[in-house]
A and B are shown apart, each in its own frame.
Chain A
Amino acid sequence: MWRSCFRLGAGSGSFPRRACLLPASRLGPGDQAGPAPGLALLRRAYAPPAERKKFYQNVSITQGEGGYEINLDHRKLKTPNAKLFTVPSEALAVAVATEWDSQRDTVKFYTMHLTTLCNTSLDNPTQRNKDQLIQASMKFLDTDTICYRVEEPETLVELQKNEWDPVIDWAEKRYDVKIGSSTNIMGPDIPAKTKETFISLLASYNMWALQGIEFVVTQLKSMVLSLGLIDRHLTVEKAVLLSRLEEEYQVQKWGNVEWAHDYELQELRARTAAGTLFVHLCSESSTVQHKLLQE
C-alpha cells in the first residue's frame, strides 16, 4: 500500500499513465524488492549497457582442474551466471586475458568478443542442445547470402558472379555437394543431400566450436562463407568483404560514410575474426604428434 501512496504523492500528472493504471492486486511479492517503479520507467529502454569502471590492475592465468582460469587481482573471473570461468585451451586463455588487460579506464564489454563467446559457451543461457545449435546454423543455408543474386543492375550482377561463384564452386568440390544460386525471391533450391552432408559435418564439432560456428554464421549471414573460414579457404577480411558485397558496391558508387559503413565493417570484422578464432582454438585436439609413433 505504501507504494500507491508514494505514487499518488509524487505523481501529480508527470508520471507515466501506465504506472497508475496498474492495479495494486497485480503487484507480486517480487515487485517489492525492486527499485521505485517511477525510476525504472523513466529510464530509457534503448540506452546501451553502461561500461563498468575498471576494477582491477593485474590479469593473470592459472591452470585449474577444468582448464585455464583467469584471475583479476587474485579474484577468479566468473561468468554472468556466477560459474567459474574456465577455457579448454591456453591460447584462448591468453587471448581472453589480453582482452581484460587491454581495457583502459572502463571495461568495454562490447569490444570483448572472445570473453562473450566463452561466457555463452559456459553458461549456455538459452539452454540449447547440440541439435538445436546445428539447426540454428543450418537455417541460414536456405537463405545463404551468396546464393541470392540480383537481376539488375548489370554491373552488380557481374560483380556477384565473379566474386561469389568461385566460393560456391570451391564448396561444391570440397564437400561434394550441390548448392547452386538463384535470382528467385524464394531463394535457391538446396537439395536434401547437401543439408545432410552439412549437418553431419557440423555434428563432428564439439559444443564450444558449434557456438562459435553459429556466431560466425549469424554474423556473415552465410553458411558457405563460414565454412570457407573454418576450412581456412578464405581470410576474415575476404569473407567479410564477400558478405557485404552489395554494400561495397553501393559505397563505390555513392561514397563512403565513416560513421556507418566503416563502423559496421570494423565491427563485423572483429566479430567474425573472434568467432573464427574461437572455433579453431576450441576444435583443435592434440596438436603435437610424434613422427616415430606413427610408423
Chain B
Amino acid sequence: MNESLINPFTLSHPTAVQTSLFAGATFAKFDPTGRFIASAARLAFSVQIWDLETRAPIRWLDGHVKAITNIDWSRNSRYLLTSSRDWNAIIWDLSSPCDPPQRHGSLRFDAPVVSAYFHPKNSQIILALLATGEAYVCDLRKQNRSRIELLETITDEGIEEEENNGQGVMRSPMTVARFDPTGKNIFVGTASGSILVFNTRTKTMIARHKISGAGAMKGFDFAKSGRRLVSNSSDRTLRQFILPSYSNPPTDTELLEQSQPPFLDLELEPTHRFNDPINRTAWHAMCYSPDGDWLAGGAADPSGHKIYIWDISNDGQLASPLDGGREPLLHLHWHPTRSLLASTTNMGNILIWHHPNPERWGAFAGGFEEVDENVEYEEREDEFDIEDEEVQFQRKMKAEEEEVDIDTIVTGAQAAVLGGLGTLSGNMGGAATPIGTGPSGNYSMDIDKLGSGMGDDIEAAWAEEEPDTDIRGAWKMKVIMDSEEASEYY
C-alpha cells in the first residue's frame, strides 16, 4: 500500500544482494503472503521457515528421511506441502503450536516424488509427479476422495504407428506437472518435448502442444494472469508461450458415447526464446515477477552465480545480468508482491536480492522536494497578492470539511479493481489470488485478460466444494526460538 511513497518511480527488478541467509538449503521459496521463506535443508532433510522481516528462522519441519524435492505453500500460507525422494509427500499445518508441527496429512507413493503442488483454490487437492514419470491428482476431500493418474490420450494413428514399430502403446514419461494459476487446468511437460493440458475436474486431456526442438521439459512457470507460460527444457532454452483459450471438457454423457474424448492438438510457437548464445549454459530455474513484466532466469553455470533478467514488456530484451559471486546457483524465486528475489547457492546460502533505493537526503527537510533537473519557476499571476486573512481562513475551514476515511482497509485486489487495471477477471479476483495484484501492475497486456465463461464457474465451484481451512487472517504462525547461543548468529 505504500509502494508509491517508498518507490515513487515504477517498480523495478532487483539489482543487488541485500542479505544472505546461511540456511544450508537446496532451494528456497517465498510464501504467498510474502512474509516468509521456506528452505529445504540439504543435510537434515528438513524444512526451515524464515521470517523475512527479522531474517531469522522461526520453524523447523522435520519428517522426511531423504532429500526434499519440492515445497509448495497453500494460498494463504497456512499449509506447506513437501515432496521427497523417500516416496512421501507431507502436508504441514503451520498454525500448529507444537514443535515440530504435527503432520496435517501425508501421501505415500510407489516411487520417489519429484514434485507436489496444492490446487490454487483448495489445498485438499494435490498434484504429485513421480520419478517414474507418472502424475497423480489426489483429492483429499471427504466427498471426492480419490487418487487419479493423468493419462495422455493416444490417438488411433499413434497406436497404429506404435504397432508398426513393434512396440506396445508407449506414453512419454512426464517430467513436469503444474496447476495453472486458476487451478482449472493442469500443465504437464513430457520427456519427448510436448506440453499436455488436462482438466483438473475431469482429469481428461484437453490439449497437446508439441514444442519442436525443445527436448525434455524441465520446468514451467506461469505469469499471474495464467495466460503466459515459460518453459525450461533440455535444449537449454527458455520459451515463453501465450496460451490459447481451452474449450471446456465434454460433459460426462458425451464421454460415454466416445471412447476417446477429443482434444486440441496444436503446435505452439514461442513468442520469445531466451538462451545464452555464447556459453550455451542451461537454466536451473526461472520465475516471473509479480506483475509479469520481468522474467528472471538462473543459469546453471558451474563457475558463478548468474541471474539474467529480461524485460518482457519491452519485447523480451535482456535488462541486466546479476552476478551473485562464486557459488553456483541452484534455484531462484521471485517475491509474490515486491521487487525481491531469493536465489540459492550450491553452498546452501540463500541470497535475497532487492532494488536499493538511492538515499533521498531531501526527505530529511520538511516541505522540501528534490528535483532531478533545474526547473524554470514560473510565478503565478496572483502568487504574491495579499489575500484577506478572513477569506484564507474560510477556505481552509472549507477544505477541512472534506470527509476522511480512517478505518477502511483497501486490500491489494480491491486496489487493483478500484484502479481499473483490469488484469483480474471474475474468477481471478476471488480468494485464490489475494496477493500480487497491488497498484504495481500499471502495465497490463491485453493477452493477460482472462476470458471467464460458464465453464470456469463450474471448475471454480468444483474446486471450492468442501473448502479448506486455509483462511486469511484466521490463523497465526507460531514462532519457535532456538537456544540462546544460536540466536547470536542471526
The yes or no verdict on A and B being binding partners is no
Chain A positions within 8 Å of B, measured between CB atoms, are none
Seen from chain B, the residues whose Cβ lies within 8 Å of a Cβ on chain A are none
